[in-house]
Chains A and B, each alone.
Chain A
Amino acid sequence: MNKAVILVGGPSRATRFRPLSMHLPQPLFPVGGKPIIWHQIKALSAVKDLREIILIGFFEDYVFRSFLEKCQEEFPEITFKYLREYSQLGTAGGFFHFRDQILRGGPKNIFMLYTDICCSFPLNELLAQHERHGRLGTIMVTKVDRSSARLYGCVVVDNETKLAAHYVEKPETYVSDMASTGVFVFHQDIFRFMAQVMEQRANEFDQQRANESAYGRSVDEADESHDVNRLRLEQDVLRRMAADKKLSAYLCKGFWRQIKSAASAVPANGLYLQKALGENRSFLAEAKQDGPEIVGAVYIHPSAQIHPTARIGPNVSIHARVVIGPGVRVDDSIILDNVHIKDNAAVLHSIVGWDSRIGMWGRVEGSPITSSDDIDEVTHAGVKVNSICILGEDVQVKDEVFIRNSIVLPHKDLASNKHNEIIM
């Protein structure tokens, strides 16, 4: 029997996802027509012998309740649970804290997934390789551009033995172009290993404290690396596993990218829709004789109304109760619930927030993301550069107004053109 843990984080973690996370917790934001976290659950549901999925995070208990109820119906063989962390225990701290609940029923292997990623999730292949090599854990890695490796946790991999020989988090210099994807599978003994790490660290701290108080200095309690109760997955656990030759690496050959910034939801949306094109065609919109023109992979919620003269796609998700008027063009965008786009308007490379309105001949346009890295393009290095255009909840774009490469916070009325701005 196997289990999975998804680390969903908390409201304070998703500031880069603003303004979209102001309305909805990031894990529930829809890409490819479904919440970010649904894609992970869907992939986990295909893993053999997987019986339970546990979400761990800092959100209030009610946040995931109705979503998990729906998951329970969709995946009846799996039990779903949300466990709330009350204090910040580090990326592996919550996982370790809830070890009794995770170990209940005696799972052999435990998957661990971060939420803010978009991936083809070849989990069965990951598990197969993990069991074949029999080490304590396996980290799924992806090949990244040599020049952007410093943005990721980097793993040195031995091609023959699949041993992860070295792990380093965001190195300043080049170490390896194999980046951690935030997907792991561990043998249940991982908790024993973590306990050893905790104990060792506690001893070290005691020693240090004794030394330092002898010299009349006090340890800074707020410093994360000096907090005995905290356990950081990367720096404290993975690094040591690699050093002890207890970590394997599995190379993901499918797609992978981070969804940290709000803008990256657009390419993630495109990747999942492309995936559906191959695996789940019936989920996507089909061109009908009296329906709108559909180009490429498009998701349209059944309750959305789209005028037959509109042109939608490729890589577009249109959500519940959206109304799209005559002659509208939507390309490479996410249109959230209850948005109304009026006649002849165009929406390109953008996210249009819940309940927003775009007037006749309005135009909302971002710059397509060409980098595979998740970079905050809007205020990168303090300089405004091109980005996906994002309208927060309830933004009104008046007739003929053009909003380009801008991020608009909720409840704004826009009566004049805006270019490259963040609008408070």
Chain B
Amino acid sequence: MKALILVGGFGTRLRPLTLSMPKPLVDFANKPMILHQIEALVKAGVTDIVLAVNYKPEVMVAVLKKYEEKFGITITFSVESVPLGTAGPLALAREVLGKDDSPFFVLNADVTCEYPFEKMRDFHLAHGCEGTILATTVDEPSKYGVIVVHDETTAIDRFVEKPVEYVGNRINAGIYIFSPSILDRIELRPTSIEKEIFPVMAKDRELHTFDLEGFWMDVGQPKDFLTGTCLYLSSLAKRTPELLAPVTEEYVNGGNVLVHPTAKIGKGCKIGPNVTIGPNTIIGDGVCLQRCVLMDGTHVKDHAWVKNSIIGWHSSVGRWSRLDGVTVLGDDVHVAEGVYVNGASVLPHKSISSNVCEPGIVM
């Protein structure tokens, strides 16, 4: 089987992290975002993966080369010279996606969930139509495109973009499986799959919806990256709690704490809930961490307090410092001792020596 991952551009929404690292390689729960998807695809029998990108950084080529070898699969980059939207990249990758009759997956690189690729495949083959959209339900559908199905079936009737009146709360989760015949509907030009292709397919009764179980999150920006991490950790706690730090551990507070085996944690800490501690991190004594992500090589010094924040690679937080309010430290940022940082997005290689009380960008 085959899959296309829509990676797109520079990931500007996830800056300052993506200033130092291509978005698919940013660790999500201690594993590059794209690796979560590749592993799940491989498990569902996918052997050919196409990455639709606007640019092709060397570091990404090197990392994906490793994955090719590790999983025995073929990964190709499909580079768009002009952005082709969400459907155009399918036409550009026609050679791979259309090489046999088996269906192929299409997924947005920013989406995290418990990827149900095998179930989707079975469902898709069972209904025999051209496409299946993974759907998730949300509390407030008014800011999404809502899927409306024909009564008592899974066949999609129509889409209502940002509904004013409630028509349902099932929305497009950004993950699909298609039969290769869909390629006949798509030309090689900038095209939106949601607006231009799906409505026609629905009209032709060639489009079904498959309900996702469990959590779903678009983690394209820092605030959602943190929320997505919380959801993912909660899901881990249910499925594979052995991957998390045991709640019997003295420093664990409230569970959902993922600690890389190479991390060092000091005495008298209070960590959790919802904390990811990356490889080669050092956490001093008396540190309090909640709802935060620590990337590779970070150093949180004694008595610091960190909440609702992402600490980028090789950054440090000084003693008695306090980070809150979706603060994001880029690569190699150093927060001095006793400093309060609230909601700051700090660009790489900065040192912060005085309080940042109001949210903003530190250039």
Residues of A within 8 A of B (CB): 309, 326-329, 331, 343-344, 346, 348, 360-361, 363, 365, 400, 402, 404, 419
Contact = CB atoms under 8 A, between A and B. Distances in A.
B286 A404 contact: no
Contacts of B285: 309, 327
Nearest to B269: A344
Contacts of B357: 404, 419
Contacts of A400: 288, 305
A410 B79 CA distance: 66
B357 to A, nearest CB: 7
A363 B302 CA distance: 15
Contacts of B268: 326-327, 343-344
B320 interface: yes
Interface residues of B, number: 17
B319 A329 contact: yes
30 contacts: A309-B285, A326-B268, A326-B286, A327-B285, A327-B286, A327-B302, A327-B303, A328-B303, A329-B320, A329-B338, A331-B338, A343-B286, A344-B268, A344-B286, A344-B287, A344-B288, A344-B303, A346-B303, A348-B338, A360-B270, A360-B288, A361-B270, A361-B288, A361-B303, A361-B305, A363-B305, A400-B305, A402-B322, A402-B324, A404-B340
Given A344-B268, A344-B305, A404-B340, 6 more contacts: A331-B338, A346-B303, A361-B288, A361-B305, A363-B322, A402-B322
A369 B355 CA distance: 15
Which of B285, B320, B357 is the most central at the interface, judged by chain A CB atoms within 10 Å of its CB? B320
Interface string B257-278: 0000000000010100000000
Interface string B84-106: 00000000000000000000000
Interface string B324-363: 1000000000000010100000000000000101000000
A343 B267 CA distance: 12
Contacts, number: 47
Contacts of A363: 305, 322, 340
Contacts of A361: 270, 288, 303, 305
A161 to B, nearest CB: 48
Which of A344, A348, A400, A402 is the most central at the interface, judged by chain B CB atoms within 10 Å of its CB? A344
A404 B340 CA distance: 10
A271 B163 CA distance: 65
A329 B322 contact: no
Contact of A346 (B270, B324, B338, B355): B338
Nearest to A362: B305
Contacts of B338: 329, 331, 346, 348
Contacts of B270: 360-361
B303 A329 contact: yes
B324 to A, nearest CB: 8
The 3 closest A-B pairs by CB, nearest first: A327-B286, A344-B286, A344-B303
B183 to A, nearest CB: 55
Interface in B276-331: 285-288, 302-303, 305, 319-320, 322, 324
A348 B336 CA distance: 15
Contacts of B319: 329
Contacts of A328: 303
B104 to A, nearest CB: 49
Nearest to A328: B303
A12 to B, nearest CB: 36
A363 B338 CA distance: 10
Nearest to A331: B338
A328 B305 CA distance: 12
A309 B319 CA distance: 12
B340 A365 contact: yes
Contacts of B288: 344, 360-361, 400
A344 B270 CA distance: 11
